[in-house]
Structure 1
Amino acid sequence: MPAQEFETESWGVLAGLPGEPMIWVLIFSEFAVFGLLLGAFAVARFINPSVFSAGQAVLDPSLAGLNTLALVTSGWAAAHGALAARQDRRHACRRWLALAIGLGGAFVAIKILEYINEVAAGAGLETSTFFTVYFLLTGFHLLHVHLGMVILTLVARGADAAAVETGTSFWHMVDLVWIVMFPIIYLVR
């Protein structure tokens, strides 16, 4: 049995997922971390509902909704980039990934605008439990958006199907986490 084949088989169920199996170890660990942070958010909201209600009143759900649209559309573009890479259409892959990265940049810009508005309204890390958890959670996600944009930039250079699938798998994790975070932070009262 060739070494590469043995190595792939040793990953079990992870070997059947798109991209390199090790990215899935990272993705599952990131889901665990975000799950713990969202759990802390939910527990803190249960303990201090009035503090969380007051904090949510400062947020702008329309900007967050626009960010959701940007990130979901970015995930759609990344999926098209992965498809183009699998079809060995490198130029198309790069164009799709450039669109995904650009929409990720739009997410970053909108999130920074949102932070500026919140700080101008008097919100900060130490303002309340709500804002402590909010800034930690959304800031941690924003860090992942930045990292995802770097990863997509790196894999777009070679447009290799396995590398692109690995990078877009990470990007889809970032999308999915935001899709879960958005209603919990901005909409659930």
Structure 2
Amino acid sequence: MDTACTTDHAASPTFQPRLAGDLAIWIFILAELLAFGVFFAAYAFARAADPELFALGQEGLNRNAGAFNTLVLLTASYCVVRAVHAAEAGRGRQGAPWLLAALGCGGAFVVVKLAEYSAAFDAGISLSSSTFDMFYLSLTFFHFMHVLLGMVILGALWLNARQGRYDPDNLNGIESGAAYWHMVDLVWLVLFPLVYVMR
């Protein structure tokens, strides 16, 4: 059975593993993940030094808002995957509504996060109010800026998809944009439980 599978793959001239998207975007993604990793490690060390302060700071966060933002980012990633699959199937224009939906999800994240920031600032929270507040604002705002950049990318992908620019022979752009958005989603899936939930 194993021999047959090996023979089938060897006999297929079109079976060629490739990197989805552009190499440059993957280098950028790895650099960004490294930056977030350093941030997360610093947060963990600071929390270990003063767990009571961090637990008190977490009590003031809106976990429902964080959970909602987790849902909308996951939904956005699903929509992006559908758009990529449409392009792979030669139906690039059909991916445009999915990209628009992903863009809408990104917009919902931004609105909710801005509401959180507004409530935090009204409560007197700032970068200097406590170590936890400094990490919360720094980490979430750094991610927030990545969401905004991701929305710009999604907007460009949507315009290109509407014009039918993506097909099985031209996937580099949409795959690169999708990879970036999935990175944004992945970071939030670590950030949300780390900052909002874990006690």
* TM-score w.r.t. length of structure 2: 0.85
Which residue of the partner structure matches residue 183 of structure 2? 173
| Secondary structure at 2:78 match in 1 | helix
1:140 to 136, 139, 142: 142
User: CA offset at residue 156 of structure 1?
Assistant: 2.3
- Contact preservation (8 Å) 1:125, 1:132: yes
Question: Where has structure 1 moved over 6 Å in runs of 4 or more?
Answer: none
2:6 aligned residue: none
Name structure 2 gaps, 5 residues minimum.
1-16
SS at match of 2:126: coil
SS, match of residue 16 in structure 1: coil
> What is the CA–CA distance in structure 2 between the aligned matches of 1:97 and 1:172, rounded to whole Å?
13
Query: Separation in 2 of the partners of 1:186 and 1:54?
Result: 11
**Distance across 2 between alignment mates of 1:141 and 1:54:** 23
Identity of aligned residues (%): 41
Q: Distance in 2 between matches of 1:17 and 1:47?
A: 42
Higher-Rg structure is: 2
- Deviation at 1:91? 2.3
Q: Deviations over 1:6-29 (max 9, x none)?
A: xxxxxxxxx833111111101111
The equivalent position to 2:76 in structure 1, one of 74, 77, 85, is 74
Counting helix residues as a fraction of each chain, which structure ranks higher?
Answer: 1
- Distance (Å, rounded) in 2 between the aligned partners of 1:181 and 1:77: 22
**In structure 2, C-alpha distance between the alignment counterparts of 1:25 and 1:34, rounded to whole Å:** 14
2:87 corresponding residue in structure 1:
85
The CA distance in 1 between the partners of 2:90 and 2:24, in whole Å, is: 23
Offset, 1:187: 0.7
Q: Does 1:112 align with 2:114?
A: yes
Q: What are structure 1's unaligned runs of at least 5 residues?
A: 1-14
1:187 to 169, 177, 197: 197
Distance 2:109 2:32 in 1: 20
Equivalences for residues 140-159 of structure 1 within 5 A: 140-159=142-161
- Indicate the residue corresponding to 2:63 in structure 1: 61
Match of 1:33 among 32, 35, 53: 35
